[in-house]
Amino acid sequence: MPKSLLRSRPSLRNSIIIGMLLVITLVSIGFTYAVRAAFDQLEYELLDQRLMAELAEFKEAYQYDPSISLVSWGGLKRYRLRPNTDDEVPADLRGLTPGTPAHVQLEGREHLAGAVALGETRLFVALDIAAVPAIEASLLSRMGGFLLLGYALALLLGWITVSRVSRPLAELAAQVAQADPVESRPPVPPSAAPREVSEIAEAFNLFMLRMRQFIERERAFTDDAGHELRTPLAVISSTVELMRRHPALPTTAQEHLNRIDRATAQMSSLVESFLLLAREEGSGPTPPVDAAGLVHEALEGIRQSRPQDAARLHATLVEPWPVRAPPAVLMALVGNLVLNALSHTDGRVFVVLRQGLLSVRDEGQGIDPKALDQIFDRRARSAHSDGYGLGLFLVKRICTHLGWTLRTRSRMGVGSSFEVGFGPP
């Protein structure tokens, strides 16, 4: 997967932190709402109880002494309304229902007031509660401060916890990225890693062990196959060479031997290519060879094997260019590109080698832009292909293995070109 796509995805640490923040936020909102509701309920119950107590006390004192003073103190006001008197009672209190507290405005301030009937006389008590909202706001602000502090502490604690949890995963990922299934030891989880991380590491270790066994089997098969395939090809080549020296060999037989020799050389190139791709990168230094000479040799082989197409093949080899690659592999690459071009056009095919850039261009119908990404796939074939769909696949694998660049250009109705960059000499 591309690293840019991985970077666009949220990390595990950030996902957990965001989740914790959401949970803490929801819990804080719910807690604040619950505390606010409880505070309001407690506030009104306490004020109602005090109001009822003051009314009961006022009633008892009035029954004992009807001439009791109506002095107000501590935000508490007392009023009485006797029949046929001019007692001064605010209008908002006169309409109160006995036994039912109500909020009224007295002298521009909010009060909680209640009334009680004593015969035809009505007694009133009003508690000044104008300061209650300020007290409530102060309490809520303090509670909000504590919540913010708790929020910050929870965030810090969550960050530390998540960091401790994700650090072993990051270390394991770094070890896995550097692991070599052949040479390096399997990644070992940190000693303080959680059990889940250790289980992941153990599962990966088992996978690496199976991969190592598979690679060892593949290497053994490659070595055996290389030896078994080279030997009969060498025997065929030497036999053809001995038969050519026979003095009574007719001309027609000479042509047949030439075809056998070219087919053997082509098979040897394919064998060398497949063996190269089967080996590990950097398995050993390769001496430099002249790309121009090998390209010329590959083109001559194609002209001899396909004389009907020789006139359509045009080559421009400007200068020698050293490359580090097995000669048979480079010839196989050139042969696959040229044969692919010849099979997709009835026109000319141009092969140019200039400044370390090999270009093979045809005058065919071009490649559908939607199919450009699939032409290098294994078994990818077009309607005009006469092979097995391995030519361009092999070219792509060779370029990737040797670190060469491969670029394709195509225009419908004009033709296609393949460019291989060998790099500096």
For 134-154, the three-class secondary structure string (H helix, E strand, C coil) is HHHHHHHHHHHHHHHHHHHHH
Write down the pLDDT at residue 9: 66
pLDDT number for residue 192: 60
In this structure, is residue 277 part of a structural domain?
A: no
Among 115, 147, 177, residue at a domain's last position: 177
105/107 Cα distance (integer angstroms)? 7
Cα–Cα distance, 33 to 30 (Å, whole number): 5
Rounded mean pLDDT, 294-299: 89
Domain-terminating residue out of 131, 154, 177: 177
Between the alpha carbon of residue 144 and those of residues 36, 138, 152, the distances in Å are: 11, 10, 12
- The residue written with tokens 């990922």 in the block is 173
- Give yes or no for residue 6 having a pLDDT over 70: no
Please check whether residues 17 and 151 belong to one and the same domain. yes
Residue 273: pLDDT band (50, 70, 90) is: low
pLDDT per residue as tens digits for the range 11-26: 766 777 777 778 877 8
Q: Would the pLDDT of 350 be above 90? A: yes
Interval 193-198 mean pLDDT:
74
In the chain, the percentage of residues whose pLDDT exceeds 70 is 86
Between 378 and 216, whose confidence is greater?
216
Contact between 400 and 421 under an 8 Å Cβ cutoff? The reply is: no
Report pLDDT for 380: 61
Last residue of a domain, one of 152, 177, 202: 177
Mean pLDDT throughout 394-398? 87
Do the domain assignments include residue 298? Answer: yes
Q: Mean pLDDT throughout 398-408?
A: 89
Least confident residue range of 214-223, 266-275, 299-308, 326-335 = 266-275
Pick from 365, 360, 319: nearest CA to 341: 360
Question: Which tens digits make up the pLDDT trace of 41-63?
Answer: 777 778 888 888 888 888 888 88
- Average pLDDT (317-330) is 85
Place of tokens 């026979």: 246
CA gap 172, 185 in Å, rounded: 13
| Predicted local distance difference test score (pLDDT) of residue 407 | 92
Residue predicted with more confidence, 378 or 416: 416
The first and second tokens of residue 284, run together, are 């050993």
In this structure, the answer to whether residues 173 and 307 fall within a common structural domain is no
Of 67-81, 112-126, 168-182, 183-197, minimum mean pLDDT range: 183-197
Distance CA 59, CA 116 (A): 8
409 pLDDT more than 70: yes
* Better-predicted residue by pLDDT, 293 or 319: 293
- Joined together, the tokens standing for residue 31 give 């807690």
Residue 260 lies in a domain: no
Pair 173, 301 in one domain: no
Whether pTM exceeds 0.85: no
Indicate whether 383 pLDDT > 60.
Answer: no
Q: Are residues 291 and 414 in the same domain?
A: yes
Question: Residue 269's pLDDT is what?
Answer: 67
> Which of 268, 277, 269 has its CA nearest to residue 230?
268
Q: How far apart are CA 163 and CA 169, in angstroms?
A: 10
In a domain, 214, yes or no: no
Within this chain, do residues 170 and 290 fall inside the same structural domain, yes or no? no
d(Cα 205, Cα 78) in Å, to the nearest integer?
A: 86
The answer to whether residue 349 is domain-embedded is yes
- Compute CA distances 259 → 265, 278, 425, whole Å: 10, 29, 34
The answer to whether position 344 is within a domain reads yes
Structure confidence at residue 418 (pLDDT): 92
What is the residue-wise DSSP string for 295-337? HHHHHHHHHHH-GGGGGGEEEEE-S--EEES-HHHHHHHHHHH
Q: Which residue has the higher pLDDT, 316 or 258?
A: 316
> If you ran DSSP here, which 8-state letter would residue 371 be given?
G
CA 143 to chain centre: 41
Same domain for 126 and 3? yes
Task: Say if residue 358's pLDDT is above 70.
Answer: yes
pLDDT at position 122: 87
pLDDT digits (tens, 9 = 90+) for 157-187: 878 877 777 777 777 777 777 777 666 566 5
298 and 157 within one domain = no
How far is 124 from 54, CA to CA, in rounded Å?
A: 10
- Name the residue range of residue 345's domain: 285-421
CA distance 123 to 69: 13
Give a yes or no: residue 170 inside a domain: yes
Q: What is the CATH number of the domain that holds 320?
A: 3.30.565.10
Are 167 and 48 part of one and the same domain?
Answer: yes
Q: Are residues 165 and 312 in the same domain?
A: no
- Would you give the DSSP letter of residue 32? H
3-state secondary structure of 374: coil
- The pLDDT tens digits of the residues spanning 77-103 come to 888 888 877 778 888 888 888 888 888
Cβ density class 102-113: b for 16+ within 10 Å, e for less: eebebeeebbbb
Least confident interval from 22-26, 70-74, 203-207: 70-74
Tell me how far apart the alpha carbons of residues 289 and 272 are, in angstroms, rounded to a whole number: 15
Which DSSP state fits 97?
P
Quick one: average pLDDT of 278-283? 55
In the numeric block, the tokens 């270009």 are attached to: 359
Domain tally for the chain?
Answer: 2
The verdict on 173 and 304 lying in the same domain is no
Average pLDDT, the chain: 79
Comparing CA positions, the residue from 361, 365, 399 lying closest to residue 382 is 365
231 part of a folded domain: no
